[in-house]
Each structure stands twice: as C-alpha cells, then as structure tokens.
Structure 1
Amino acid sequence: MSSSVSKTCRSLFSTSAIRFAKLQGIALMVGLASCAPNTPTAPPQAGGSPGAAPAAGGTLAISGAGATAPNPLYQRWFREYNTQNPAVQISYDSVGSGAGVRRFLDGTVDFGATDAPLLDKERQALPAARGQALQIPSTGLFVVFAYNLDGVDNLRLSRESFCGITDGSITTWNDPLIVKDNPGVTLPGDPITFVHRSDGSGTTDIFTKHIDEACPNWKAGGGKTVEWPTGTGAKGNEGVSAQIQQTRGAIGYTEYSYANETKLKMASIQNKAGEFITPTPEAASRALAGAQVPADFALAVPDPEQKDAYPIVSLTWILLYENPQDPAKAKAINEFLKWAYSPAGDQAATELGYIPLPDDLSSKAATALDTIKVAAN
C-alpha cells in the first residue's frame, strides 16, 4: 500500500453490525493499520485507448469487467445510478474474476471486479504509472450448493457428504452418508453430476477455500482455478446455474442470488459448529461477526466458527488504480461507489440477497476513495 495513503484505522464493524441481517449485539471488529483506495483507468473508446475523451454530449462512458457473482447487483446499481445521473453510463462485462483481474492489469477497463483478493504477483504486474492496485469492498455475498433432484426439497448435507460430492468419492444420491443426513427422505439411486466453474473464478476461490478447510481429503487446494477431481465445468455463475437447471441429478456451487433468481433448490449444509444451516442472507451475515478486516480490506473467513453462521461467505471488491489515467472518470466512479453505500444502494443489495456493508466499513471505504487522484470540481 502507498505510504501516501497509509493511516491508522479503527474498527470497521461496530455494534451497528450488518444492517442487512439486523444482527443484535454482534460487532464486526476490523483492524486496519492503513486504508488505501484504488483508482480507475479510463475504458477504451471505439478505436481509441484508455483515457479517451468523454462521449458526445458530455456523457462519461465508464467500463468495468470481472466477477460474475455480484453482476446482478452491479447491473441494478448501474441502471438506478444512471437514472439519477444520466451523464454517467457504466457498463460491466461479467467475465469472471480471473478475466476481470487481467483486464484491470492490462488497463483495458476503468475498473475491475473480483471475489478473490489480489495476489502479490497480480499487484506487482500493474504498470508503475498506475500506482498501487487497490481493492475496495462493494458488498458481501455467499455461495450455495444448488441442486436438481425431483422429490427432494430440503436436502441436508453434512461436511462428510458435501466433501465426498466435491472430491468424487460420493457418486450416487442414495449414498449411505447422504441417506443418514436426510432421515425419512427417499433418495434415488441416480448418479450425481457435480457442476463447477470452467473459468477463473472468484466464486471458485471462495468455495474451494472453504472446501480446503472443511474437507480433510481435499487435495486440490483453493484458488480461482483448481484441478477438479470430478464433475463438469460451466462458465460463470450464469453457466453453472443453467447447467444445474438442465441436468437431473446435478449439484454445484453458485452465488446465492443466481440460485434464488432461477428458483434452484439449495441445500442446508453443516458448518464448523456441527449445525445444519439453511442458506439465507441473515445466516451468511453472521459468518462475518468478529472477523478482522486487514488494511487492504482482503477479509477471508473460509470456515467461520459461529454456531448459527452459514459457512461459505465473502466480501467482493472493486479494483481501482491509485493513479487513474482519466481523473474525470475516476471521480465519477468514486461518486458512484459512495452512492452504492447509501440507503438506496443498500436497499437494492438487500432485495437481491446480497449483504450490504456495515456503516463503519462503508465509511472507511469511502475515506479510502477520497485519496484517489480525481478531477477537481
């Protein structure tokens, strides 16, 4: 982080906790030694390059690319913000966190988006002229096991069961472990089709880091891409959700809002405390309680200990440049993000099943944005 933006930051998550979940008496304490923001570059105009002049009529055309998990929320935010600010048009290409990070580092977008915090090697790959690569949290999200199984509406999966499905050691729906998890339920002998991401994915990063913690026999590690021991791949949360929807006996991981929008069934899964937790935004919010958010906002809670917490949860981030190539666009992006932290932005997040940032965290993120070199008024 740049020393010019380093500062002492106190706790981010206060007893206001996560507004969305209305948690009572839970404080999400954040230790921030320094808070650094990010700055966007300008998107390439047709036939041009980053930093090209605004479109005709004074409209600022801003482009971003990256994570598919927050895409439904981002699209709604961009539409609503444009209604209130017609001169600012933000487009977003939902290509996955891996591709989004690459486009950000290449400077072909004004901002990137990722569900996986930047790696040191990715930060080092940013051209020096852009300054530091900075990540600003936008919202919280969670990943679910969505499934397609006729006659089974409330599937429960112990850690042994979902670990076995993911590593390929459990291959049929009437496996004794799954039967044990679901007393009184008639499970078919159909083969299990596990659906995973085929592209570099922050959702995969969130999911596999949990699997790596929860599953003793998991050998593939965690990250945006892994060598899957079983299953079939699909691109994006959109593709995974569609593949599950079209395949009888399928189960896979996808972000909650996609499963909810497509009316996919979602399994209750066992957390570290041994409780079977139904995936809801409220339960996901509890996974963040007590977490320590580091200086670069790269919060990680791969296997939360809270008894009533849903266990596969993360923040997601907007990637900005410390030294933006187009200060006017940087200013517009900063103003948009501050609007996203407002009650209007929170309402959209809540309605779509995301987790709005608590007041303290959004305040620190907004302060970080203020250090970016943007156009003067």
Structure 2
Amino acid sequence: MRNRLASFPGAAAPVAAVALVLPLVLTGCLVEDGSAVSRGTLSGDIVGAGATFPDPLFQEWMSYYNTTIETGTTIDYRATGSGEGIEQFLAQSVDFGSSERYLQESELLVARQVRGCEAVQFPVVFGAVVIALNDPALDGLILDAEVIAGIYDRTVTRYDDPAIAALNPDLDLPDREIVPVHRSDGSGTTYVFTSYLTHEVQLWADEYAAGTDIDWNDGTVGGEGNDGVIQAVEASPGGLGYVNQSYALNNQLATARVVNEDGVPIEPTLAATTAASEEAEIPDDFQFTIDDIGGDGYPITGANWILAYECGYDDDTAEVLRDFWTWTLTDVEADRFASALGYAPMGRTLKERVLTEIQRVNSS
C-alpha cells in the first residue's frame, strides 16, 4: 500500500514584451535553414498525444493555427496523460508526445533504438499544480508540504487536524473528514505533484517517491484525468485534489495557498507561477525540475515538454511540426491564449534556446 510504483524510471515576459522577443511569424514561417516562406503554403496532418495538463491551451493553439495561420494543416492532440503520451511516442504511434516530465536516460536510449536517431525534447509552457477544494468556504486554506503529504498518506484525515489548525489560526475549520483525490491514470501532473513532495518531505520520499503513477494509500480516491479529479472533488463533501491550475480556474474551484521555501503562503496565481519558473535552472538538455521556490513563487510548478525525433518524418510532417511549435513561441496571440487560460509563457532567453532546439526536428 505504501510502496512507490512508477510507470517509468527514473517566465513569462509580459505580453507587450513578448512582441520584442523575435519577429512575429504571421506573414512568414521559418523553415529548416532559417529562411522564410509565405504563410498558407504548408500542408500535412500531425498527431500528438500525452499530458492533460496543457490540453486546454493546446486545443486553442491548434484550432487557431489550423483555421487562421496554416489552413492546409491538421493537428490532432489526444490528452491521454503523460505516461501514455511517452509510451505512444516511444512506440512511434504518434508524431509527437507531450509530458510534464522530461524523458530520462533509459527512455532516451529506447528512442535511439527504435528510431535510429536522437529524441528531441523541449519545454513550451509552465503551469502550477494546485490543491482544489470542495468547500468554497475553505478558499485560501493554508497548507504546507508536510500537511499535504500527511493528507495523502492518511495521517492527516480531518480539516480541523492540529497541523492544519496551526497553519490557519484565524480560520474556523470544519469538523469534516478530508477525502483526498488523486489521478488514477499515468499522469505528468502526478509527477510534478509527487516530485514536489519527494523533494520536500522525507516520509514521502521513503514511502512513495515521485512517479507518473503511484501506489496510493487505500484511503484515497482516484479520478481519471484532471476532469476526473475535479468531478470526484466536487462530488465528495470534504473533497481535496491536485489539478492543473487552468482546470481549477475554469471550474471556479476553491484552492489552497501553499507555503513556499521562504515560509510564505502563496496563492496559485499566474504571476506566482511565472515567479517560480524564473527561478528554475534550465540546462542545455532541458532536463530540469522546479524546486526550492521562494520569494513570490508558487512552490508546486512544472513545465510541459514536447517530444519529437531528429529523423524519420516525411518533409511535410517535419515542416508542420517545426512551424507549429515555432509559432507557439513567437506569436503574441499564442501567449495571449496561454495567459488567458492560466499558463505562464516562457521568457525571452528561454524561448530563443527552445527555438534553436526545435530546428533539430528531422535534421538528421
């Protein structure tokens, strides 16, 4: 019951500033050698699968791109969960994968073996994992990593538990059982959430650790996808669950404030997500986690990675793949979609690095 079971081993610039990052790709698109071609000339269908975390944003991006930017293309994204997205990517049943955790060395090796070339992975957006609550009266409830771990370990079972009361001395806490809800599918949201708890709480590191799929305590409830977690939270008096920030906003759920590294209870706002993402140290291989967040940063923050290959695509597919993800990082409209839905677009320097990485797609 308390042993981990992982499925796999192992900032935002203001909208006005984004326009200065790179020339907007509205009348031309970048091709592999960096030159521009006229808009409306691309054709091809691409399919991706993976994280539910960015799905609301991806659907907006893809619809706008298909109907306004390159009308001869079709991009289909299936929100299957990060674990399934990685599996389908490595099985080569999709053109690109999407995950809230980067591919680890064992998976990169599999990618080389099955494709005969290197995998390419790059972040495209940041977002927060928030603690959603069934009771609107508890909006702004303060929790810390130890209490959150205790709730999911079932050592903290009631809202008026002394550990929660100590964090909320001015709040009249209900004498009500907590019903903790988790993802039942392989999930990058779970990976971000459990990575945070593993980094912060020794009990969690020892008993559960981080993974896309966890052997949860029997006293918890499962829901498939972010939507399934929200449904279970809303259906359960005392419900509490972790979901992507945009899902909590769209469903107008009460959310908890979480104490960060500096001891400050932080509300999961877009600004707090941006503050956290700006503290991340991002290496050349784009394999990173966002830990030890202080200041104004919200501590449970993660990124979404796109997974592709250096070889094996036909020319049309490769060009659409490169152009679409380039467009998401260079068009101010794409950033507006992200901000409106509660995601943090990347800042200028990181965008420039990612744009270079995108050009590796089908370059071998």
The bucket for the TM-score relative to the shorter chain is 0.7 to 0.9
Kept in 2, the 8 Å contact 1:66–1:94? The answer is yes
| Structure 2, unpaired ranges of 5+ | 1-10, 18-31, 33-41
Kept in 1, the 8 Å contact 2:276–2:290? The answer is yes
Kept in 2, the 8 Å contact 1:18–1:355? The answer is yes
Aligned partners of 1:63 and 1:208: how far apart in 2? 29
Aligned partners of 1:185 and 1:202: how far apart in 2? 33
Name the structure 2 match of 1:88.
Answer: 73
Equivalent of residue 125 in structure 1, options 95, 107, 110: 110
Kept in 2, the 8 Å contact 1:328–1:374? The answer is no
Kept in 2, the 8 Å contact 1:199–1:236? The answer is yes
How far 1:302 sits from its partner (Å)? 3.0
Name the structure 2 match of 1:32.
Answer: none
Deviation string 1:180-215 (CA, Å, 9 cap, x unpaired) is 222232222221110011111111111001001222
Kept in 1, the 8 Å contact 2:123–2:305? The answer is yes
The runs of 4+ residues in structure 1 deviating greater than 6 Å are none
Name the structure 1 match of 2:227.
Answer: 238
The range that moved more, 137-146 or 295-304, is 295-304
What SS class does the counterpart of residue 173 from structure 1 fall into?
coil
Kept in 2, the 8 Å contact 1:21–1:355? The answer is no
How far 1:168 sits from its partner (Å)? 1.2
Name the structure 1 match of 2:120.
Answer: 134
Name the structure 2 match of 1:19.
Answer: 13
Kept in 2, the 8 Å contact 1:327–1:374? The answer is no
How far 1:351 sits from its partner (Å)? 0.8
Alignment of 1:318-357 (within 5 A): 318-342=306-330, 343-357=332-346
Equivalent of residue 274 in structure 2, options 285, 291, 301: 285
Kept in 1, the 8 Å contact 2:43–2:316? The answer is no
Q: TM-score, normalised by structure 1?
A: 0.82
What SS class does the counterpart of residue 190 from structure 1 fall into?
coil
Aligned partners of 1:150 and 1:18: how far apart in 2? 30
Equivalent of residue 361 in structure 1, options 342, 350, 353: 350
How far 1:150 sits from its partner (Å)? 5.0
Is 1:174 aligned to 2:151, yes or no? no
Aligned partners of 2:110 and 2:288: how far apart in 1? 22
Alignment of 1:206-245 (within 5 A): 206-218=192-204, 219-229=207-217, 230-245=219-234
What SS class does the counterpart of residue 287 from structure 1 fall into?
helix
| Structure 1, unpaired ranges of 5+ | 1-16, 24-38, 40-57
Name the structure 2 match of 1:105.
Answer: 90
What SS class does the counterpart of residue 278 from structure 2 fall into?
coil
Aligned partners of 2:95 and 2:13: how far apart in 1? 30
Aligned partners of 1:62 and 1:167: how far apart in 2? 41
Deviation string 1:40-97 (CA, Å, 9 cap, x unpaired) is xxxxxxxxxxxxxxxxxx9522110000000000000000101121111101110000
The range that moved more, 366-375 or 340-349, is 366-375
Name the structure 2 match of 1:77.
Answer: 61
Name the structure 2 match of 1:309.
Answer: 297
Q: TM-score, normalised by structure 2?
A: 0.84
How far 1:240 sits from its partner (Å)? 1.0
**Identical-residue share of aligned pairs (%):** 35
How far 1:318 sits from its partner (Å)? 0.7
Equivalent of residue 298 in structure 1, options 259, 270, 287: 287
Aligned partners of 1:225 and 1:119: how far apart in 2? 16
Kept in 2, the 8 Å contact 1:155–1:267? The answer is yes
Aligned partners of 2:137 and 2:336: how far apart in 1? 35
What SS class does the counterpart of residue 258 from structure 1 fall into?
helix
Name the structure 2 match of 1:264.
Answer: 253
Query: What RMSD over aligned residues (CA atoms) do the two structures have, in Å?
Result: 2.1
Q: Structure 1 residues 250 and 330 mapped into 2: Cα distance closer, same or farther (>3 Å)?
A: same
Aligned partners of 1:302 and 1:206: how far apart in 2? 10
Kept in 2, the 8 Å contact 1:20–1:282? The answer is no
Name the structure 2 match of 1:49.
Answer: none
- Size of the alignment, in residue pairs? 325
How far 1:374 sits from its partner (Å)? 6.3
How far 1:373 sits from its partner (Å)? 2.8
Name the structure 1 match of 2:38.
Answer: none
Name the structure 1 match of 2:36.
Answer: none
What SS class does the counterpart of residue 203 from structure 2 fall into?
coil
Name the structure 1 match of 2:21.
Answer: none
How far 1:130 sits from its partner (Å)? 4.5
Kept in 2, the 8 Å contact 1:21–1:282? The answer is no
Question: What one-letter code is carried by the residue in structure 2 that aligns with 1:106?
Answer: A
